[in-house]
Structure 1
Amino acid sequence: MAHQTLQQCFNVVPGKITCLQTRKEIITGEVFIVQRHGQSSCWISASVQLYSSTRLDPNTGKGKLSEKAYLKHGKSCEHNGTKITKYKVKFRVEPDFGIPGAFLIKNEHKHKFFLQSATLEVPANQSIQFNCKSWIYPFTKTKTNRLFFSNTVYLPNETPEALDELRKEELESLRGHGTGERKEWDRVYEYDYYNDLGNPDKGQEHVRPILGGSDSYPYPRRGRTGRPCCNQDPLTESRPTKFNLDIYVPPDERFSPKKLSEFIENSVQAIVHFPLPEAQSIDEQESNSFESLEEIKDIFSRHKRQGVEGWIAEELKSLVSDDLFKEIKEASKKDPMKFPLPKIIEENELAWKDDEEFARQMLSGVNPTVIKGLEVFPPQSRNGVWSSIKASHIQHNLDGLTIAEAMNQWRILILDHHDYLLPFLNRINTKGICVYASRTLLFLRDDHTLKLLAIELSLPGSSADMEINRVFLPTTQGTEAALWLLAKAHVAVNDSAYHQLISHWLNTHAVVEPFIIATRRQLSVMHPVHRLLDPHFKDTMHINALSRSIIINSGGILEKILFTQEISMELSSAIYRDWRFDEQGLPADLIKRGLALKDPDNPTGVYPLLEDYPYGADGLEIWTAIKTWVTDFYGGIH
């Protein structure tokens, strides 16, 4: 041995070193950890072991398991604005170990860390990738090592035998057993109702119905947290006493350090402009003495100049965890005062009063998902307010067309906030609030712009078959002009609430969560459909959990800023009753709303009827790209 050269002792090939004396091979790799604020690049204490995907261990029924390699001497680098620590690792394996298909990682430190990815180099210059993107909690908490599979996809019946048992064990552990309170480090996906929006222990005014699981209040499922029940209601889950980021979601769904930092920064900005529900940012005597908007602006400006250390610091300290308070103080060093002005107001501060701009935003504004083609004229009202005079006015504004001709050409559109809202108005219009249900008619001109035709405002009548309603027409003269502006304001209020509660919260966030849970429970990360859906699920469960904590809960932000107040979520439940999965695809949605016709010769399957409709035009391009991607992906695995 003393007379042998280094080349005689070791056979060196790319990615693998074979030791002739010990009959061991070495597989090299790199592990990437995201650095957290205030932590050094070398603080990780963790070990990693590889599972073979091609060689079975007869004693375990799983792939062969390598010896441990330890993460040491990390080097800092930056990737897409994120600080990363890269660790080089070497694994000693048997010559017949085969190709790695999974790895175990054990966190032997006292703190969690965020594992971004890992890469292994094996013979023939083959690189094996692992997209991890998950928090790794200390072994002292989890009592188990964390398993990651490579990016290679397999259908269940094609999964290598060496990985099959690992796949089954992983899915079984993710399904949980439906009991007990979940801890931050638990990696379990279970279903529950929205039974944590109310807080009966704070008083009757904080009682809210349980959404989901009943004919009265249908709703999508959420991820289960298992917190104890309220003292006053055994069916309602208790709420955390402090706002923090530790409301339970599985580690794979929790924000990355970069996303966490962005969330806190945005939260500070929101807190300064709109304090947390429980925080009294301005003492009651001062807040009750406002006599003008200028006074409010002056008081807020004086308080904001003090920063988080001033007017709201003590309140925040009593409301949030110590760790979160430190993060908030760091984020608050940036100027939280600056909200960018909308471009349209930046150029013309009175643009909101213009009928043409008002109509344009129904197609190009924040909520372009409700407007649809008018199918019946006059709109069906119980009191028949659409008189012959109103109909005559409308017909004279259709560029020479009759009402019937314009409807046949799908050129009369309606923004309808009437039927779903009317049954709730008697409960809403209390405590000084007065809101109307609305219908807005518009005409599609030859230049593809919209002309406002009329607005109907309605209230419930004294009996179930009666309404109080009035139709307003565009005008710029006298009292009628002020009433016309008021009618548009009520339409904007209706549309804004619908956008926040339905278009955004319900249809974008809430309905997706049960699909996330089902995917994690039933489809291995190696399953091609799991791999296909995973990017679209990013951060959704964590955002939803935080929303239940401060946005959609009793006394939360939406109840404070929307006219729907404490019935906000109940209203969204009533609208969810008509939600259908087969109508959610954009082509089907456009056809249902009369904004497109079926066209089998078009790649999208539809012919759009509106030319200047960014939501429809851009959306169909995205739809086509996704359809092509999914089709190609599916073809590639068969």
Structure 2
Amino acid sequence: MQKRKRAVQSKITNYHANRSIKQNIIKGKVVIQNHGQSGPGKSASVQIYSSSIVDPSTGKGKLSAKAYLNHGKSKGHNGTKTRTYKIKIHVEPDFGIPGAFLMKNQHKHKFFLESVTLEIPDNQIIYFDCRSWVYPLRKTKSDRLFFSNNIYLPNQTPSALLELRRLELVCLRGDGTQERKEWDQIYDYDYYNDLGYPDKGQEHIRPVLGGSELNPYPRRVRTGCPPSSTEPSTESQTQTISLDIYVPPDERFSPKKLSEFTSNSIQATLHFVIADAKSLFKQDSRSFESFDEIRDMFSSKRSQAVEGKVKEKLKGKVKEKLKGKVKEKLKGKVKEKLKKLVPYEHFKKITYASKEDLMKFPLPQIITENELAWGNDEEFGRQMLAGTNPTRIQSLQTFPPEGRNGVSTIQTSHIEHNLDGSTLLQAMNEWRIFILDHHDYLMPYLSKINTNGVCAYASRTLFYLRSDATLKPLAIELSLPGSCAGTEISRVFLPANQGTEAALWQLAKAHQKEIPFTTEYPMPPFTLICAFSRLHTHAVVEPFIIATRRQLSVMHPINWLLRPHFKDTMHINALARSILINSGGIFEKTLFSGQISMELSSELYKEWRFDEQALPADLVKR
């Protein structure tokens, strides 16, 4: 009888124990983006922290048992392949509500963690928007910590998360030493001291931007690369185009974004290398004799043009070179140049992509619709508002326009007949006269720029705001430094429809749009304003990203508010320093300002003020 009673009691105990275990299991889903590798599976584990119950032994929230990723299911959605793992996490009965989790990656590869969702009693859902790379434990030496999407001000943070929040910010700030590795989640400041290659020669030395009144510039994230052996103030650099420049894992592109960027970069690299390999065309010093030839380079009818007048020019050895070395794409010197420029894995992709027509540039939309639209004054006025120029265009306050170097040579008689019946004074009083001024900041640099076989001008362009809300070009003034210090030579160009004056007007518009390249680079027109746009849209934002990550926890509401505006910016900036704005980069090869492009950008930064960046303040100023 006693034995039977003990057996019944044992069953009751086991029943309650099993029931207790079932009641203290938290189910969840882990979503990982695939990027050409298998998922981490059981090599990755999750542990969750409580946000409501403190573990007295650690001062942090209670920590659950580990749950391993098992039985992942893959699916594709909007071009993105994901793998979803279902997990079950055992917790103590008084665990409370999850507020953070640790992800341990013991796999040999990194993976991109999209999100984690946990389901707790009463059908509550705790969501973690992660969107970050998780690197192998053997490299990081620590687990990755993620907080839930619940936001708190510091004084409202649950006590169980306070210590985790404090330790996270300490780690993110780092100690300002050592070279950063790909997996380091550290935000620290540095200057733009990685644009030159001084070890390669004097011609590759570039000034440090930032930290001085002469060359001010926004800060960038610190990479900690060792200094150059010949110029200690400059970081040493590799001589290849690298996509692996350091940015913290939370700032790196997702697999989908990285794939898109790589694809676009391949085509851009091909165009750049083909254009830069001028040694292949020594006997074909090609120049453009008319705007029609430039248009044909982009035109959908280019093949007909090649068979026509262009084909007639390309005879003998020149024709054979084009057949043997351009038509066959990446052969000979071009292929060797690519091998030196890019890492091997990217070289393979570029070689595969070279099956396409490399010399045929993408067709601009405006030419697709109307091959002659690019030359119209209406289109010229539209482009002043459709691109980056709206950030510099301003109402004309005084006439004639004045600058640091004196008064403009544009006269009332040049424009008053073109104001739709208004006088100049009436139009200015009605805020209808606008100026796009690329004069004062550019003039001091022109002598240096134009010694390199370039013909660039400083410009002032006046527009009239018509009643249909379009801009009508009135006059373009192009200027060069004079022979004596402090003097300049200027000429005013006016709209015209025929004859020599019409041709000069088209050339003036081309110079104003800042595309006066040397003809040995038949590249799609990059404009100097690209560099300045990058300054105002990307470079000035990076210090704010760094400061936000260092000072505001991911749970802080302001951090959450700014996150979508910061997305991918730091990675784009890093790639720009490696490919676009560095010594010998695409900007220096294609912009008329060449080696001093970034110095010009620094010159414009001297005008930048934080309190003028809000749109209302900016509009009032201009």
Q: TM-score, normalized by length of structure 1?
A: 0.85
Contact 1:383–1:467 (8 Å) recurs in 2: no
Secondary structure (helix, strand or coil) at the match of 2:70 reads: coil
- Answer yes or no: is 1:540 the counterpart of 2:594: no
Give the letter aligned to residue 25 of structure 1. Answer: N
Mapped to 1, the partners of 2:460 and 2:127 lie a distance apart of: 54
- Offset at residue 458 of structure 1 (A): 0.8
Can you list the C-alpha shifts for 1:284-308, whole angstroms capped at 9, x where unaligned?
Answer: 2435533456459996786566566
Given candidates 331, 343, 346, the residue that maps to 2:365 is: 343
- Answer yes or no: is 1:243 the counterpart of 2:241: yes
- Offset at residue 415 of structure 1 (A): 1.2
Secondary structure (helix, strand or coil) at the match of 1:414 reads: strand
Contact 2:477–2:493 (8 Å) recurs in 1: yes
Mapped to 1, the partners of 2:446 and 2:438 lie a distance apart of: 12
Check 1:135–1:386 CA distance in 2 against 1; reply closer, same or farther (3 A cut): same
Equivalent residue number for residue 578 of structure 1: 607
Equivalent residue number for residue 285 of structure 2: 290
Given candidates 158, 161, 164, the residue that maps to 1:160 is: 158
Mapped to 2, the partners of 1:135 and 1:520 lie a distance apart of: 16
Equivalent residue number for residue 357 of structure 1: 379
Equivalent residue number for residue 500 of structure 1: 530
Contact 1:264–1:328 (8 Å) recurs in 2: no
Equivalent residue number for residue 150 of structure 1: 148
Given candidates 79, 83, 86, the residue that maps to 2:84 is: 86
Mapped to 1, the partners of 2:105 and 2:458 lie a distance apart of: 57
Structure (1 or 2) with the greater helix fraction: 2
Unmatched runs of 5 consecutive residues or more in structure 2? 1-5, 289-309, 517-525
Can you list the C-alpha shifts for 1:319-342, whole angstroms capped at 9, x where unaligned?
Answer: 433444455566667777775422
Check 1:240–1:425 CA distance in 2 against 1; reply closer, same or farther (3 A cut): same
Equivalent residue number for residue 517 of structure 1: 546
- Answer yes or no: is 1:480 the counterpart of 2:508: no
Secondary structure (helix, strand or coil) at the match of 2:576 reads: helix
Listed as ranges, the matches of 1:65-464 within 5 Å are 65-275=63-273, 282=277, 284-287=279-282, 289-291=284-286, 294=310, 306=328, 312-326=334-348, 328=350, 340-380=362-402, 386=409, 390-464=411-485
Percent identity, aligned pairs only, is: 62
Equivalent residue number for residue 590 of structure 2: 561
Secondary structure (helix, strand or coil) at the match of 2:437 reads: strand
- Offset at residue 134 of structure 1 (A): 0.8
Mapped to 1, the partners of 2:513 and 2:284 lie a distance apart of: 29
- Offset at residue 5 of structure 1 (A): 13
Contact 1:417–1:494 (8 Å) recurs in 2: no
Equivalent residue number for residue 606 of structure 1: none
Check 1:189–1:361 CA distance in 2 against 1; reply closer, same or farther (3 A cut): same
Secondary structure (helix, strand or coil) at the match of 1:368 reads: helix
- Answer yes or no: is 1:530 the counterpart of 2:559: yes
Equivalent residue number for residue 632 of structure 1: none
Mapped to 1, the partners of 2:35 and 2:332 lie a distance apart of: 27
Mapped to 2, the partners of 1:42 and 1:230 lie a distance apart of: 39
Unmatched runs of 5 consecutive residues or more in structure 1? 12-17, 594-638
Secondary structure (helix, strand or coil) at the match of 1:227 reads: coil
- Offset at residue 55 of structure 1 (A): 0.6
Secondary structure (helix, strand or coil) at the match of 2:112 reads: strand
- Offset at residue 4 of structure 1 (A): 11
Contact 1:102–1:147 (8 Å) recurs in 2: yes
Mapped to 2, the partners of 1:502 and 1:314 lie a distance apart of: 33
Secondary structure (helix, strand or coil) at the match of 2:126 reads: strand
Equivalent residue number for residue 610 of structure 1: none
- Answer yes or no: is 1:587 the counterpart of 2:605: no
Can you list the C-alpha shifts for 1:80-132, whole angstroms capped at 9, x where unaligned?
Answer: 32100101111111000011100001110111111111100001100111111
Secondary structure (helix, strand or coil) at the match of 1:129 reads: strand
Mapped to 1, the partners of 2:11 and 2:264 lie a distance apart of: 58
Mapped to 1, the partners of 2:356 and 2:47 lie a distance apart of: 43
Can you list the C-alpha shifts for 1:469-511, whole angstroms capped at 9, x where unaligned?
Answer: 11122223433222222211110117963421112x1011100
- Offset at residue 264 of structure 1 (A): 0.9
Check 1:385–1:281 CA distance in 2 against 1; reply closer, same or farther (3 A cut): closer
Secondary structure (helix, strand or coil) at the match of 1:516 reads: helix
Mapped to 1, the partners of 2:15 and 2:429 lie a distance apart of: 82
Check 1:297–1:585 CA distance in 2 against 1; reply closer, same or farther (3 A cut): farther
- Offset at residue 367 of structure 1 (A): 3.2
Check 1:586–1:493 CA distance in 2 against 1; reply closer, same or farther (3 A cut): same
Check 1:467–1:287 CA distance in 2 against 1; reply closer, same or farther (3 A cut): same
Contact 2:325–2:331 (8 Å) recurs in 1: no
Check 1:476–1:332 CA distance in 2 against 1; reply closer, same or farther (3 A cut): closer
- Offset at residue 542 of structure 1 (A): 1.0
- Answer yes or no: is 1:551 the counterpart of 2:580: yes
Equivalent residue number for residue 630 of structure 1: none
Give the letter aligned to residue 594 of structure 2. Answer: Q
- Offset at residue 465 of structure 1 (A): 3.0
- Offset at residue 36 of structure 1 (A): 1.1
Mapped to 2, the partners of 1:281 and 1:494 lie a distance apart of: 17
Q: TM-score, normalized by length of structure 2?
A: 0.87
Check 1:96–1:287 CA distance in 2 against 1; reply closer, same or farther (3 A cut): farther
Count of aligned pairs: 580
- Offset at residue 266 of structure 1 (A): 0.3
Can you list the C-alpha shifts for 1:219-247, whole angstroms capped at 9, x where unaligned?
Answer: 00000001111111011001124332221
Give the letter aligned to residue 110 of structure 1. Answer: K
Give the letter aligned to residue 536 of structure 1. Answer: H
Contact 1:304–1:311 (8 Å) recurs in 2: no
Mapped to 2, the partners of 1:369 and 1:87 lie a distance apart of: 47
Contact 1:264–1:327 (8 Å) recurs in 2: no
Check 1:153–1:237 CA distance in 2 against 1; reply closer, same or farther (3 A cut): same
